[in-house]
Structure 1
């Protein structure tokens, strides 16, 4: 099988190309301004620099390779950045997605009218936006049918990816899956609580000064390991219903102070913690978990990696870095 993973310079994409390569797939990864160290990837994996904002580069790769599956993960993926760079965010995320589908149409027009790949598009829980704040009482599980009310340009761009994919499915009969992804973490991740805590913990371990800079440790989050996320994406490519949307979310909720305790247990040392005001938000989001009933029913997916395992792997990753 031939597979393209766009955004293979990111946490999820880099792990996905590794796994596909290990499974014997003929895989190409594309990257542009990678957020991970792509020199960590085996040199036998073919990586091509490609800015998905420019359709000609995307078209060239797809016309030449004609993959059976396309995992479209390339994106400007930071909500905070989207406020400062809204044009780039919309252009990358929406136009980059259009480029994928138009390239498939061109393969059909120029080379093979029966070309029929599966496209899995990495959408986001950010599409739900204000709807998440309107859930009542103890209701925390969000279904795919919830209203889309994004609260920042990033969320809007992901709604655009989502709906443009549906449009190409309906009008051009291009098979696609719209995967609305909730919080995930793992090795190579940067700028989330688990990666920040594990990195600071290893810096403390190396210095011998067991201090840990923290924010609000009472906050709760549903977090999944990137391996469970990658498994879900791959299962959806094989077993998902074309044109449909699926939540991919952890079913387990963790309090931030519990994350710290897991790190302390694995390092074998208690931390002197101090609160950094810069890490405190005026308000913290309520706990949000995606309802994954549909994902489990259609693919058989289940969450397998424990948070303890994730933290152990991340600690060892930072030690080796």
Structure 2
């Protein structure tokens, strides 16, 4: 079976393509456009094709040529802050790109009526938006039945992807899974707290100057390793109910001071902590955790990668990157 991963030039997509390739599911095709990861880091046995999902002809060519049995649609403009500056682009990539994938499946079916892939669409916890602010308690566990009230163009675009996938299932019987993804991290991740902390720690280690600049260390976040996320997506493709929606979220909540302690333990040296006002937020976000009961019942998934392992792998990743940049 051929498998297609759109957005394989991103953190999750690149790891997913490599994982599927390593376990021998079949020929894995990854598409990318303006990648956020270094493509040289991706296993060369993954077939990478440049493809802008905003152009339907390009998507039709890939799907029509390879007829993938599973399609993981991860290609997206995935930054909420960017969506305020570039709302047209965000909608174009996320909504029209999703339409392009499903329409390409329909066109492939015109030629090969028995073509019946499973399309897993990477949706987002950002779809819940204001609903999360209305729920009571400091720690909020949100179910898939929660009302969708996105608070930025990115969240709106993800609601669009979500509902488009549903309507293609209802009207065209294209099998799909709508995966609402919460916070994840891992190697190749950029611009999240775990990535920033581990990168700064490795820079301090290389300089033998053990100072770590941080924001609010009392903040708590539910964060999962990208490997647990990838495994959940694959399990949903195999065992999820077509047309249905599932949260994918960490069940473990970490305090940022605990992340720093894990880094210190891995490096073996205590850091001098400096609070950088520029890293402080005016208000702290509530702890948002996705209720994954439905995911676990459907697939047997559970969170397996401990944060200590994630931290170790990210530190090693940054060390390798720094060593490479030094020749």
- Residue in 2 aligned with 1:142? 142
Distance in structure 2 (CA, Å) of the matches to 1:8 and 1:288: 27
Unaligned 5+ segments in structure 2 are 322-327
Pairwise CA distance, 1:138: 5.1
SS of the residue corresponding to residue 151 of structure 2 reads coil
Deviations 1:180-234 (A, max 9, x none): 0000000000000000000000000000110111111111000000000000000
- Residue in 2 aligned with 1:2? 2
Contact 2:71 2:119 (8 Å CA) reproduced? yes
Pairwise CA distance, 1:318: 0.5
Deviations 1:116-157 (A, max 9, x none): 100000000000001111111355110000000000000000
Distance in structure 2 (CA, Å) of the matches to 1:177 and 1:183: 19
SS of the residue corresponding to residue 123 of structure 2 reads strand
Q: TM-score, normalised by structure 1?
A: 0.99
Deviations 1:66-94 (A, max 9, x none): 00000000000000000000000000000
Pairwise CA distance, 1:41: 1.3
Q: TM-score, normalised by structure 2?
A: 0.97
Contact 2:94 2:161 (8 Å CA) reproduced? yes
Contact 2:177 2:241 (8 Å CA) reproduced? yes
- Residue in 2 aligned with 1:199? 199
Q: Which residues of 2 match residues 176-187 of structure 1 at below 5 A?
A: 176-187=176-187
- Residue in 2 aligned with 1:294? 294
- The reply to whether residue 154 of structure 1 matches residue 154 of structure 2 is yes
Distance in structure 2 (CA, Å) of the matches to 1:225 and 1:17: 16
- The reply to whether residue 274 of structure 1 matches residue 279 of structure 2 is no
SS of the residue corresponding to residue 287 of structure 2 reads coil
Unaligned 5+ segments in structure 1 are none
Distance in structure 2 (CA, Å) of the matches to 1:164 and 1:15: 26
- Residue in 2 aligned with 1:104? 105
Distance in structure 1 (CA, Å) of the matches to 2:139 and 2:262: 27
Q: Which residues of 2 match residues 79-98 of structure 1 at below 5 A?
A: 79-98=80-99
Contact 2:119 2:177 (8 Å CA) reproduced? yes
SS of the residue corresponding to residue 12 of structure 1 reads helix
- Residue in 2 aligned with 1:68? 69
CA RMSD between the two structures: 0.7
SS of the residue corresponding to residue 190 of structure 2 reads coil
SS of the residue corresponding to residue 97 of structure 1 reads helix
Contact 2:10 2:35 (8 Å CA) reproduced? yes
Q: Which residues of 2 match residues 1-321 of structure 1 at below 5 A?
A: 1-24=1-24, 25-109=26-110, 111-137=111-137, 140-321=140-321
Distance in structure 2 (CA, Å) of the matches to 1:108 and 1:51: 22
Distance in structure 1 (CA, Å) of the matches to 2:39 and 2:182: 24
